[in-house]
Amino acid sequence: MRGAAALALLALAACDPQPHTVTVDLPAGAVGDAMKNTLSEALESKSHLPLTIKAQRPVTLTAADGVKVFATDYRADRPRAVILLFHQAGSGKGEYADIGPRLAKMGYDALAIDQRSGGDLYGPNATVKALGTREPQPESAAYLSAEPDLQAAVDWAKRQKLPIIVWGSSYSSSLAFPLAARNPEVKAVLAFSPGEYFDDKALVETAATKLTVPVFVTSASDAREVAEAAKIAHAVPGGRATQFIPKAGVHGSSTLNASKNPKGAEDSWSAVTGFLRRVAP
């Protein structure tokens, strides 16, 4: 199997004499790491081209209510921590198709999930598709319905025996605060465009007051989002929250995608990298 995969990828490299980045689904642990190294060495020695193998694998979680939650696990060689990536409204794990591999290259395993409250903004949401047509819900209830999915990701992360970091985008960044408050295993939180998106307009701020871990908060660069993020950051006790106010920023984790935020993505990445290096060096 390993040889067949290498031959297939070598044929790709031979057809197009340019540096390649190839995404390969690999198993977890030492077997996957060995396969990744073997493929890289074989391809580079035969094609004489720079090659990056992005190791990732599909994961299926089961929420407490039995819902199957589909995810992609981006694997680091020697992970410092596992980062759980939660998407914004109308979206899916594809929101992290570029972010996940970059985090893995930095030394962090990253699990991006398809929450049941989502859509096809960045490609198909497999969890939503599997659930099929459902009765429409009010926005607040739809967002809160994803809480079991986030908890399933934390339960999976606990089994990885690594420090756990939760990362949310828009409504899921708000849910990250009560999630972290309920799970002492969570060592840090990153919240991209958090707000009081629920009927309980104090839900997020109240949860923030209970946190005892470092928190990174950022937003789009418009005044309303900056103020909403500041209110939540200030609720975190002990000066544990860091708010990054971008000169150029867009809503949610999309602020890190150059295609969505060409003028500010790298500045946001610099802030995120500094925070991660501090909380999980």
Residue 149 belongs to a domain with what CATH number? 3.40.50.1820
Check whether residue 133 and residue 221 sit in a common domain. Answer: yes
| Of 49, 65, 82, the domain-final residue | 49
Check whether residue 38 and residue 158 sit in a common domain. Answer: no
Check whether residue 24 and residue 65 sit in a common domain. Answer: no
Domains: count for the chain = 2
Its sign, for the CA torsion 24, 30, 31, 33, is positive
Contacts 24+ apart (CB under 8 A), 209-213: 209/235, 209/236, 209/237, 210/181, 211/177, 211/180, 211/181, 211/236, 211/237, 211/240, 212/237, 212/238, 212/240, 213/180, 213/186, 213/187, 213/188, 213/189, 213/240
Give the pLDDT score at 226: 98
Check whether residue 117 and residue 28 sit in a common domain. Answer: no
Give the pLDDT score at 180: 98
Give the pLDDT score at 137: 86
Q: pLDDT tens track of the chain, all 281 residues?
A: 444 444 444 444 444 444 444 445 555 545 555 555 555 454 445 444 444 445 899 999 999 999 999 999 999 999 999 999 999 999 999 999 999 999 999 999 999 999 999 999 999 999 999 999 777 888 989 999 999 999 999 999 999 999 999 999 999 999 999 999 999 999 999 999 999 999 999 999 999 999 999 999 999 999 999 999 999 999 999 999 999 999 999 999 999 999 999 999 999 999 999 999 999 99
pTM of the model: 0.84
Check whether residue 227 and residue 250 sit in a common domain. Answer: yes
Give the pLDDT score at 133: 74
Give the pLDDT score at 135: 75
Check whether residue 132 and residue 188 sit in a common domain. Answer: yes
The amino acid sitting at 148 is P
**How far, in Å, CA of 53 to CA of 25, rounded?**
10
Cβ atoms of 70 and 94 within 8 Å: the answer is no
Check whether residue 165 and residue 254 sit in a common domain. Answer: yes
Check whether residue 204 and residue 141 sit in a common domain. Answer: yes
Domain hosting 177: range is 56-279
Check whether residue 168 and residue 42 sit in a common domain. Answer: no
Show Cβ contacts of residue 164 under 8 Å, excluding neighbours closer than 6 positions: 81, 82, 84, 154, 157, 158, 183, 185, 186, 187
Check whether residue 198 and residue 240 sit in a common domain. Answer: yes
Check whether residue 20 and residue 151 sit in a common domain. Answer: no
Using DSSP bridges, classify how beta strands 215-218 and 164-169 pair: parallel, antiparallel or unpaired: unpaired
Check whether residue 150 and residue 93 sit in a common domain. Answer: yes
